[in-house]
A and B are shown apart, each in its own frame.
Chain A
């Protein structure tokens, strides 16, 4: 988590606590993640990428949904800000669920290509 996200996390601690639980659909999340272009900067496997600034990996994100949503609505640095009419809260929750369903990182010790 970078500084921006951390700040939001603190601000939203109480907000998030009061939020109703989302029932999220990871399959729809994948569809939206691809259709709404998150993959363009963050990679299809959530591996991260770059525009002018590095776009962090998102697979197995540790950000709570409430913080995650605020980030999408704000769009830090050169990430687009996604308004509710373009990306409804339900889709945001679905993307979040999709990212949590991705395999994410692996241990690197036994990967010769990463230890050369």
Chain B
């Protein structure tokens, strides 16, 4: 054991009186004094030799009750060096030391506390926030119980490769735990509960250890592939005085420069792409900064090739002529070279499967197609959760940050392009452009079917929404499951026009992640909107209160199909397979009887609300009023009763 002054179990902990004042002792009652005088029954930290004079004259200094420094203050100093703007939390005594330091020492600035009525809300807000802001938000919650509530949010963030700076409170030393809840909320290895899906975790044993681990945690979270990290903070370490602040050092943080793919491999890839007849670029979590999309556009335009954007980030403009996202099976079938950039589910994007008794899979690509991956995915993998998806054989796997490696690749491609080859590629590009235009026309035509229907078609709802925001600086920060109308109908060409999905398909992500993203958008003056399905909101309705409380400008447009519709469809498939009809498929899968009045729910949380809207003709005015509220800087919700998808 180290004997540094602030050491958790060392002399410093036992001698913590060095940093305390005894002014409060004057208020001690004789009973307390009597207790203080019985050192053998007092906890170790309280066994202090009292001066005889004090024992003889009342009131004695007894146990210290005030202190002039705290570990929590130091922790704030450390967090400040990491440029963390927000601390999302659901309050709990295991981190009251740090909590108090944030409100009274940091004066609730950097980080500013976000009050969340559920830990899952806190984590998911952080996930949505990081994808817009490009840096993590801190989250803190109770040991054991809070962490278990937070865990699904962490899992989504893990699958989505998003940095979350997660902290929990814990009381490490058994003899420091007092009440029954303190025991129930302590663990010898709390990180073990979520270790399968955080990148790194630690439980610092001293403040110096905290400083180093705090900076390390930030660095690990922000290094590709990014992901959540966890620090378990001992309550005593947060709460107790610091004996010698001057001896504590906060290491400086230097970001890890993202790795660029090996230059030889990039050159080989460039050659393959330039000589290919029909190369296809597939990307998922590629754009991690405002530069990502522009870089992909440069590569695609140099090659005049098809781009399929799986939508994990805002990778490629929706109306770019080379965008072939909604012709994926067709372009993959024609491809002779496929480059997958930061694609996690490569197998799923180039194979099809039938949901039958015997599951039959079929490659969408032809034999001999060269498959190349570029990304950081191969650099880090864990065993238990299976989010790494099915193994797909490839011809060349290049380890490197996708966005970071694109300029070198584009440069190589340009170098290899002769004038003659360029002309050929331009012809290919023109054809793709025509196919893209045809896609857009068919999207528009598809959208007209059921245009005036009630329940309202999701296409109509999305078209009406776009009309209300398109002239603003808008950001779509969430959508319903497989609701692709925005990408099919809207002009999405700014890095903040979209920020991807949950990652782990864990429901209860969309509502809080949208609020977190909207918070990040707020300082840019953007209008954030999300298409919010009913089932998802029902996990985390308290998000609405957080949005109101913190004045987060966000428009929730409810896709209220009154069902966990995805599961309704799965149950239907089961019933059909078993030849029993679908008459009972609604049991356990629908949200009717009573129908949920989301506008009333929202108003109850202090959020401006409209609806339920069942006639599409009423949409425009309701959305317009709601957008005006959001432009004023507040949240709003419009409940739209829609057809299933």
* Docked pose: A53 CA to B351 CA in angstroms: 12
Shortest Cβ distance from residue A71 to the other chain B in the assembled complex, whole angstroms = 13
Q: Which residues on the B side are within 8 Å of A86 (C-beta)? A: 576, 579-581
Q: Which residues on the B side are within 8 Å of A45 (C-beta)? A: 449-450, 453, 457, 643
Cβ < 8 Å to A, chain B residues 403-457: 441, 444-451, 453, 455, 457
- Cβ proximity bits A17-29 to B, threshold 8 Å, 1 near / 0 not: 0000000000000
Cβ < 8 Å to B, chain A residues 70-87: 75-83, 85-86
Q: Is B482 located at the chain interface by the 8 A CB criterion?
A: yes
Q: Which residues on the B side are within 8 Å of A10 (C-beta)? A: none
Stretch in contact with the other chain, from B241-249, B378-386, B463-471, B536-544: B463-471
The answer to whether B449 touches A105 (Cβ under 8 A) is yes
* Docked pose: A112 CA to B569 CA in angstroms: 33
The answer to whether B582 touches A43 (Cβ under 8 A) is no
Q: Is A47 located at the chain interface by the 8 A CB criterion?
A: yes
Q: Which of B354, B444, B483, B566 contacts A114 (CB 8 A)?
A: B444
* Docked pose: A40 CA to B445 CA in angstroms: 20
Shortest Cβ distance from residue B589 to the other chain A in the assembled complex, whole angstroms = 10
The answer to whether B446 touches A48 (Cβ under 8 A) is yes
Determine the residue in chain A with the shortest Cβ distance to B445. A105
Q: Which residues on the B side are within 8 Å of A48 (C-beta)? A: 446, 449
The answer to whether B467 touches A43 (Cβ under 8 A) is no
Q: Is A104 located at the chain interface by the 8 A CB criterion?
A: yes
Q: Which residues on the B side are within 8 Å of A65 (C-beta)? A: none
Q: Which residues on the A side are within 8 Å of B466 (C-beta)? A: 113, 116
Q: Which residues on the B side are within 8 Å of A102 (C-beta)? A: 449
The answer to whether A108 touches B445 (Cβ under 8 A) is yes
The answer to whether A52 touches B457 (Cβ under 8 A) is no
Q: Which of A81, A108, A112 contacts B576 (CB 8 A)?
A: A81
Shortest Cβ distance from residue A105 to the other chain B in the assembled complex, whole angstroms = 5
The answer to whether B451 touches A106 (Cβ under 8 A) is yes
Shortest Cβ distance from residue B96 to the other chain A in the assembled complex, whole angstroms = 46
* Docked pose: A114 CA to B176 CA in angstroms: 65
Q: Which residues on the A side are within 8 Å of B2 (C-beta)? A: none
Q: Which residues on the B side are within 8 Å of A106 (C-beta)? A: 448, 451
Give the B interface residue count (CB, 8 A): 48
Q: Which residues on the B side are within 8 Å of A111 (C-beta)? A: 444, 448, 451
* Docked pose: A39 CA to B573 CA in angstroms: 13
Q: Is A95 located at the chain interface by the 8 A CB criterion?
A: no
Cβ < 8 Å to B, chain A residues 35-72: 35-37, 39-41, 43-55, 57, 59
- Knowing A36-B582, A51-B482, say if A44 contacts B643 (CB, 8 Å): yes
Q: Which of B354, B355, B644 contacts A40 (CB 8 A)?
A: B644
Determine the residue in chain A with the shortest Cβ distance to B460. A113
- Knowing A82-B576, A83-B579, say if A47 contacts B459 (CB, 8 Å): yes
Pick from B448, B575, B582 the residue with the most CB of A within 10 Å: B448
The answer to whether A113 touches B576 (Cβ under 8 A) is no
* Docked pose: A45 CA to B643 CA in angstroms: 9
Q: Which of B355, B577, B581, B645 contacts A43 (CB 8 A)?
A: B645
The answer to whether A77 touches B352 (Cβ under 8 A) is yes
Cβ < 8 Å to A, chain B residues 560-619: 565-566, 568-569, 572-573, 575-577, 579-583, 585
- Knowing A36-B582, A39-B644, A45-B643, say if A81 contacts B577 (CB, 8 Å): yes
State the majority secondary structure of interface residues on A. loop
Q: Which residues on the A side are within 8 Å of B585 (C-beta)? A: 37
Q: Which residues on the B side are within 8 Å of A107 (C-beta)? A: 448
Shortest Cβ distance from residue A39 to the other chain B in the assembled complex, whole angstroms = 7
Shortest Cβ distance from residue B341 to the other chain A in the assembled complex, whole angstroms = 23
Q: Is B275 located at the chain interface by the 8 A CB criterion?
A: no
Q: Is B484 located at the chain interface by the 8 A CB criterion?
A: yes
The answer to whether A78 touches B355 (Cβ under 8 A) is yes
Shortest Cβ distance from residue B465 to the other chain A in the assembled complex, whole angstroms = 10
Q: Is B290 located at the chain interface by the 8 A CB criterion?
A: no
Q: Is B276 located at the chain interface by the 8 A CB criterion?
A: no
* Docked pose: A59 CA to B449 CA in angstroms: 8
Q: Which residues on the A side are within 8 Å of B583 (C-beta)? A: 35
The answer to whether A49 touches B643 (Cβ under 8 A) is yes
The answer to whether A85 touches B579 (Cβ under 8 A) is yes
Shortest Cβ distance from residue A47 to the other chain B in the assembled complex, whole angstroms = 4
Q: Is B302 located at the chain interface by the 8 A CB criterion?
A: no
Q: Which residues on the A side are within 8 Å of B187 (C-beta)? A: none
- Knowing A47-B457, A76-B354, say if A40 contacts B572 (CB, 8 Å): yes
Determine the residue in chain A with the shortest Cβ distance to B484. A50
* Docked pose: A86 CA to B644 CA in angstroms: 23
Q: Which of A37, A47, A51, A116 contacts B467 (CB 8 A)?
A: A116
Determine the residue in chain A with the shortest Cβ distance to B457. A47
Determine the residue in chain A with the shortest Cβ distance to B455. A44
The answer to whether A51 touches B464 (Cβ under 8 A) is no
Shortest Cβ distance from residue B455 to the other chain A in the assembled complex, whole angstroms = 7
Q: Which residues on the A side are within 8 Å of B470 (C-beta)? A: 116
Q: Is B489 located at the chain interface by the 8 A CB criterion?
A: yes
Q: Which residues on the B side are within 8 Å of A55 (C-beta)? A: 645
Q: Which residues on the B side are within 8 Å of A54 (C-beta)? A: 482, 484
Shortest Cβ distance from residue B35 to the other chain A in the assembled complex, whole angstroms = 65
Pick from A35, A39, A53 the residue with the most CB of B within 10 Å: A53
Determine the residue in chain A with the shortest Cβ distance to B481. A50
The answer to whether B457 touches A57 (Cβ under 8 A) is no
The answer to whether B355 touches A44 (Cβ under 8 A) is no
Determine the residue in chain A with the shortest Cβ distance to B466. A116
Q: Which residues on the B side are within 8 Å of A35 (C-beta)? A: 582-583
The answer to whether A41 touches B644 (Cβ under 8 A) is yes
Shortest Cβ distance from residue B215 to the other chain A in the assembled complex, whole angstroms = 42
* Docked pose: A59 CA to B577 CA in angstroms: 25
13 examples of A-B residue contacts, CB within 8 angstroms: A36-B581, A37-B582, A39-B643, A41-B645, A47-B459, A50-B481, A50-B483, A76-B354, A80-B575, A80-B577, A86-B581, A111-B448, A111-B451
Q: B residues engaging A (CB < 8 A)?
A: 352-356, 441, 444-451, 453, 455, 457-460, 463-464, 466-467, 470, 481-484, 489, 565-566, 568-569, 572-573, 575-577, 579-583, 585, 643-645
Q: 4 smallest A-B Cβ distances: which pairs?
A: A45-B450, A80-B576, A49-B645, A47-B449
Q: A residues engaging B (CB < 8 A)?
A: 35-37, 39-41, 43-55, 57, 59, 75-83, 85-86, 102, 104-108, 111-116
